[in-house]
Amino acid sequence: MTTDANAPWLVVGLGNPGPGYAANRHNVGFMVADLLAERIGGSFKRAQKAQAHVIEGRIGAPGPANRRLVLAKPTSYMNLSGGPVVGLRDFYKVPTANIVAIHDELDIDYGVLRLKLGGGDNGHNGLKSMTKAMGPEYHRVRFGIGRPPGRMQVADFVLKDFSSVERKELAYFVDRAADAVEALVTEGLERAQSAYNS
């Protein structure tokens, strides 16, 4: 799928707003977005046309691989992510193929990444909302959180903070996920997959 090389990219970290959710497994998309914001050197500001906080900047080395980037964190709850994403897409005139959702993924082991274009939502409420709003043909950076232990309900698991053992490696995995997003935007899906789909 080819897109206009000058069109901006919209990278959306998925999560729930507010300090009570900040360290939850479900908010790993926000964690990666925060790290990308540091790398760009900006701070999030409230978007004018959507329920989201955004940073505008550029990503990639100077030259043909340098890309315009809108980095966003919806301020709606996870299950309403589609509305803010569509608002940002329309305001910034971003092709759907230039949208990247960063999200937690239950069916992948903790810390493992999978990058892909399109597909189902696998029960993820943020993806479900985005797909309902604009169809499935956007990129996903899937951050593995593993399955709940024992009989713990999925909803309880994703809304709990990472365990003390997981937190020892969390910064490394978040850093790697941010690298994967940069590679996807600047080098394309296939090269990013070969480097980061572990």
Handedness of CA 164, 165, 171, 173 (dihedral sign): negative
Which is catalytic among the residues 26, 103, 124, 139? 26
DSSP codes, 114-166: EEEES---TT-HHHHHHHHHH-S-SEEEEEE--PPSTT--HHHHHTSBPPHHH
Cα-trace Rg, the chain: 16
Structure tokens at 12: 């959306």
Task: Give the contacts of 92 (CB within 8 A, at least 6 positions apart).
Answer: 8, 10, 70
- Catalytic residue check, 124: no
Which of 124, 34, 141 is CA-nearest to residue 82?
A: 124
Active site residues: 26
